[in-house]
Structure 1
Amino acid sequence: MSKKVLVISNMYPTDEHKSFGIFVENQVKALRAHGLKVDVSAIKDPRNGKVHVLRKYLTWFLQTLAILIFKGRQYDVVHAHYVFPSGVLGLLFKKLWKTKLVVTAHGGDIDKMARKNAKIHRWTKEILKQADEVIAVGHELKATIEEEFYVHRNKITLLNMGVNREIFYPMDRQEAKRKLQLMEDKPHLLFVGNLIEQKGLLELFQAVSSLKKENGAVRLSVIGANKDAHFYGVLTRLQKELQLEEDIHFLGVKNQQEVALWMSASDVFVLPSHIEGFGLVALEAMACGTPVVGTNVGGLKYLLAEGAGCIVEVQNPSKLQDGIEKVLHERTFRSQLIEKGLQNAEENDQEKIIDKLLSLYFPTGG
């Protein structure tokens, strides 16, 4: 009889919202491919605003409560993604049915959510204390959980979400550019992520402006969800002020196959985040054979270490520009980044990550 797992997450994608928690869905699919029966209770609506938030969280809570009452006894493991609030629901299964509770901290739940107020901080601490296994996707995140929330290091596993190398793999760059009708002789930069200030887009736009002045034509494609209407307004005004309407293109949300094609077509992938739990999109770019420029923050600095990426100072447009130029113009450096990046992708292949996750779920292999 196959083992049964319930995944609880406050992010999960739909056809309409393709990128919303896609990494959770990827892990669920991989677990099912390994023969596990996996049910999911998740929020699938990324929209904000009081009415939307109240409705979606209430629906999620009631849905999970129904699963707890009518099916809760069936599960061998409950895996909560994001410590708070998902972990609160996970605790109900542990309390009522003694179900094994695994919690994955992704970064924002520790660096931002837990700092909103003292009550959420206490909840976060309690969930981490009660969980049977805690997974941290990045080194600094692991250290914070251990030092600030007093979780014993033996209970914390460093494990990212892994890269699906059946989707993200090297394609011929010129061919990918032709498919996307991009100018083949023009340097092409790519950013993938939510359109929020913490992703460093203001600095990136300023760096692109300087690159254009000093090097001529350059194109930046921006893929991601518009999460903050006010910030999007700031971003588009800056684009206009810097006269970059022809150089920066907002592409909205793309599915993973489309993102992989854009990554393969790009000369440089740029992730200038202010905070970053791990930086999975940077790993996906590496898997496509695209060199990465990223900031010296969180899990990202570990992912890009030892020559796997070009690490630049956070919130510094000038240093960001220097890093991009170095990758574009120094052929040997560029080749080294690509080679080490591909090695990183192989080491963090989703299949290897799933094997480690299964050993956390079922330590005896049962």
Structure 2
Amino acid sequence: MEKIVVFSNMYPSPEHPTFGIFVENQVGLLQSAGQAVDVIVIDNPSKGKLTTLKKYITWFCRSFMYMAKNRKRLSLTHAHYAFPTGFISLVGKKMMGIPYVVTVHGGDIDKMAAKSARIANLTKQILQQAESVIVVGEKLESDVIGRFEVPESRVHVMSMGVNTSIFKPVSKEEARKGLGLSIEENVILFVGNVIEAKGLLELVEAFALLKKSTPEVELFIVGSRKDTNFFEVLQTFIREKDVKDIHFKEPLGQVDLAQWMAASNVLALPSHHEGFGLVALEAMAAGTKVVATNVGGLPFLLGGGAGILVEAKNPVSLAEGLRNALDSASMLMNETVIQQKIAENSYETILQDLLSIYRSAGKGQVGHNE
């Protein structure tokens, strides 16, 4: 069987088990189907100029050496994030003739490409030279085709998928019993990096507004606090607002996260920008309502009654959305649409779509057992 190699600047490690876990999950999905996959990745989220420079130079060198050694056995490379990761695949194609696929996740288009004209031009070249460009949401599809002039025929919308064997409906009573939560309390859950762009300042303010009409409510914030400066700002903001019942938890493994999602009344995702919103899909699969901002790929995922969309950077709108979600009588979700979204993004569907893209892009037989 022809081998592929996955490049990513985000990948989990024992010390950082949730860092780029969606990439690891996709690699595992491919391997479970019998596809030979190697990974050359960065699994350390540490920042700082010297640390970042060292780890990226090491990663680029390892990647280049790997391609040079394995060029005859490689069918293709798959880069997660257009820049900087896609640059490795671009070099592999130009110097060694190895075709590549690149997955655009959002930040590489919305933020990284906006840093400078040089990065924007490199991003455009990376996307245009790829055999296929995978985008995790419809908004990114229009950006890649319109802004970066990639032919529509080479752009594929495909999320990272939801593992429905883990994220599945469990009774609130059962889930809460295992977590030691009161069955009567209203529970709002946030899952994601504790950074400003995730809308956490607005979430805290919205929660403070919600507490005035719904005092029996708690907010759990689950995620990495790698931006220590913002975390201090957030803590100060909470004290200034004098709002109680906000709890912080470190990142969780997927089994534990699924239990928290099933135990919660609502998942809040107040992001300023979001390529797709995988945690929203996971919450839907766990049978939990989602309140999210109307940005990026979220209106495509939550439209048609699959969730509640609110205005970005607007605590009043967010508070109203959360209040409506907690009022089960007034806000019923469209279960048919929800199940359709889950089916479209299940691991089974994603695997077949991904292998099909690989077969079209690769120079050898990909995705077939020998």
**TM-score, scaled relative to structure 1:** 0.96
- Per the TM alignment, residue 337 of structure 1 is displaced from its structure 2 partner at its CA by 4.7
Paired residues of 1:291 and 1:341 also in contact (CA < 8 A): no
SS of residue in 1 equivalent to 2:326: helix
Q: Which residue of 2 aligns with 1:361?
A: 358
Tell me the equivalent position of 1:288: 286
Instruction: Write the mapping of 1:188-199 to structure 2, written as runs, cut at 5 A.
Output: 188-199=187-198
Per the TM alignment, residue 338 of structure 1 is displaced from its structure 2 partner at its CA by 5.3
Give the conservation status (yes or no) of the 8 Å contact 1:291–1:337.
Answer: no
Cα distance, 1:57 vs. partner?
0.6
- What is aligned with 2:251? 253
1:221 positional shift: 0.5
Provide the aligned C-alpha RMSD in A: 1.4
Q: Within 2, Cα distance between the matches of 1:35 and 1:96?
A: 29
**Which residue number corresponds to residue 43 of structure 2?**
44
Q: Is the Cα–Cα contact under 8 Å of residues 73 and 97 in structure 1 kept in the other structure?
A: no
Q: CA deviation at 1:330?
A: 3.3
Aligned equivalent of 1:157: 156
Is the Cα contact below 8 Å between 1:289 and 1:342 reproduced in 2? Answer: no
Note closer, same or farther for the CA distance 1:87–1:167 as it changes in structure 2 (3 Å cut): same
Question: Which residue identity lines up with residue 257 of structure 1 in the other structure?
Answer: V
> Counterpart in 1 of 2:60?
61
Distance 2:13 2:40 in 1: 13
TM-score normalised per structure 2: 0.95
C-alpha contact (below 8 Å) 2:283/2:289 kept by paired residues: yes
SS in 2 for 1:39: strand
Q: Which residue identity does 1:307 align to in structure 2?
A: G
Q: Give 1:343 shift.
A: 3.3
Higher normalized contact order (CA 8 Å, seq sep 6+, divided by chain length): 2
Aligned equivalents of 2:189, 2:335: Cα separation in 1:
16
Deviation at 1:111?
0.4
* SS in structure 2 at match of 1:189: strand
Paired with 1:15 and 1:350, the residues of 2 have a C-alpha distance of: 24
Q: Deviations over 1:307-342 (max 9, x none)?
A: 1000111111111111111111133633x2555434
User: CA shift at 1:56, angstroms?
Assistant: 1.2
Q: Following the alignment from structure 2 to structure 1, what is the Cα–Cα distance between the partners of residues 316 and 174?
A: 32
Structure 2 letter corresponding to 1:280: L
Moved >3 Å (runs of 4+): 337-340, 363-366
1:303 maps to 301
What residue is the counterpart of 1:352 in the other structure?
Answer: 349
Unaligned runs of at least 5 residues, structure 1: none
Match runs of 1:13-92 below 5 Å: 13-92=12-91
The answer to whether the Cα contact below 8 Å between 1:11 and 1:21 also exists between their aligned partners in 2 is yes
Structure 2 distance, partners of 1:271, 1:344, is 17
* Deviation for aligned residue 1:227: 2.8
Gaps of 5+ in 2: none
Cα distance in 2 for partners of 1:295, 1:103 equals 27
